[in-house]
A and B are shown apart, each in its own frame.
Chain A
Amino acid sequence: MTRPQPLLTLSRRYLTTIVTPRTSTTTTSRLLRAPQPQPARPHLRITTTTPLIRTYHSIHYPSPTHPYTNSQTTILSAALHHVPTHGFTRDALTLGARDAGFLDVSVQLFPRAEFDLILFYLASRRGLLRSKVENDNLLQSAQPQSVDDKIKVLIMERLRMNAEVREKWVDALAIMSLGENIPMSLSELHALSDDILSLAGDVSVDASWYSKRLAIAAVYASSEFMMTRDTSAGLRDTEEFLGRRLADARAVGDKLSGVKQCLGFMGTTAVGLGRSWGLKI
């Protein structure tokens, strides 16, 4: 009789997870079979953070500092003021250099020229989003929000930062999509979706860590593109577009998990059937 021993430990493990407030996907679906006092929320899978849980992001390691020198930061910050009029161009950089007391020739500090300005813009807006959450309590509200709601708030907040430069943003996207710039652009997009998810309090440590970041990145990039054509007051169209895309991503995710569950069930059935016929599996 060797079989009952692993089964016993298995059930004990499940017991402990049920006791803790944190629940994983599988336990949630098990729990759902039992009558629940709590009203069924649309997305039980994603739950709010508690300080007890270890997140993927360690608080002991501060996020890496940006790679710019003081002079570069001075020129780039000054250049950002010229972006709404001159776009993400060498002209904006040159004017920024002049404002900072440098010469026209000093833009040689930026080997990638316009793309350096775009990267600095992206990185600084990302930092601004983080500081808005950490210092200005962007996500504080009376009623508790789900992670999905927080993600929507954060993406919308980030998009609003682009409002000022939205006519010039197509040029920036064009520069970012040049062959040699694609790797850096993608890593910046990943950093943004990573920040959004960690700020929203997502704590997944399984394969969904990747799929969620991919989904957020795709939703953000398409909304950003949509925004360049948005002329509605207060970016209402973009906000609606974003809501639809998030709903789509959620629907796809639900479908996928449904299919996964179904396949899993069929697999277990097949194995059980095989065993009942006496196969050694």
Chain B
Amino acid sequence: MSSRTVWRSFQSHARRRLIVPETPYRCFSCTQLVQEPPKPSHDDRMTHFGFQNVPESQKESLVGAVFSSVASSYDVMNDMMSLGIHRLWKDHFVRSLNPGSALPSRDHDTAGRGWNILDIAGGTGDIAFRMLDHATNINHDLETRVTIADINPDMLAEGQKRSVQTPYYNTNRLSFMQGNAQELPSIPDNSVDLYTVVFGIRNFTDKQAALEEAFRVLKPGGVFACMEFSKVDNSLFNAVYKQWSFSAIPMIGQLVAGDRDSYQYLVESIEKFPSQEEFRGMIQKAGFMIPGRGYENLTGGIAAIHKGIKPLSRA
């Protein structure tokens, strides 16, 4: 009986949150200035932050505050929310990309030795370490190097702390940079073999601009690979999944990380992200070639891997 009342209050609470967010934003680890409800000016373009609309200029700092507050408990929370499945997704993602050259490069190959990988929004190094491990252990490639870029210094600090435990610490195979994926002035044109962004592009203010920047930095023939939450195709499974993400995840966030609002933002931003087909269209619009169907659904479409290949320029 008591469990039923708990369940009902839990549901009604989730429903209320869906419709009227009482406080637009509440975060313990950021300044009063950010907490001010955004006052949109008329000449400012609007974008969405979860289910709210905020001016584009504010989204960056709002997202920054979310990730600053979750950086330390990031892994524990990911495990709790996805029941550990996110590790399988990440392993599959890296295995399908097969980073590192198994074949010795030949004299007339122009590509140079090893791959130059840029991991955007990879602050905690989850993907970067996996790719380096795969290149080293599977393909015996000791040249492949990864640059981890993240807009958030707190996430980068977390990754730097973790990199001490890896054999790549303080080598030229791993480097960190802070930067906005929509503008990467420190990275020259046509210099990157593989551009990855895993569970990050959802938070970008202007996704199309980020895709075009990816197109610029990639070498001709280079690959853009992105793993992101997406739309579930089975309606029955979708109902279960929605119940889980809108009721359980904010609660887990409150219990484990002590931060309900950041996780409320997380599930709302997942809901707002374009479907597989729409996002494929955006990748195509940036100029990429799409291999096959263009995306691969994971766990019924909860997440999807999108890929695009920059065509050779025909001079």
Binding site for B on A (CB under 8 A): 69, 71, 90-91, 94-95, 97-98, 101-112
Contacts and interface: CB of A to CB of B under 8 A. Distances in A.
Interface stretch (B34-42, B51-59, B94-102, B269-277): B94-102
A242 to B, nearest CB: 36
A98 to B, nearest CB: 6
B23 to A, nearest CB: 44
A171 B163 CA distance: 40
A230 B110 CA distance: 41
Contacts of A104: 101, 103, 111, 115, 193
Interface of B: 97-99, 101-103, 106, 109-111, 115, 193-194, 219-223, 225, 289, 291-293, 296, 307, 309, 311-312
Contact of B309 (A91, A94, A109): A109
A94 B109 CA distance: 12
A101 B222 CA distance: 11
B291 A111 contact: yes
Contact of A97 (B102, B194, B221): B221
Contact of A101 (B97, B106, B221, B296): B221
B289 A69 contact: yes
B291 A98 contact: no
Contacts of A69: 289
Contacts of A112: 292
Given A98-B109, A111-B291, 18 more contacts: A71-B289, A71-B312, A90-B98, A95-B103, A97-B221, A98-B106, A101-B221, A102-B220, A102-B312, A103-B221, A104-B103, A104-B115, A105-B97, A105-B99, A105-B194, A105-B221, A109-B291, A111-B293
Contacts of B309: 71, 106, 108-109
Contact of A106 (B103, B109, B221, B225): B221
Given A103-B193, A109-B291, A94 B103 contact: yes
A97 B193 CA distance: 13
A270 to B, nearest CB: 55
Contacts of B99: 105
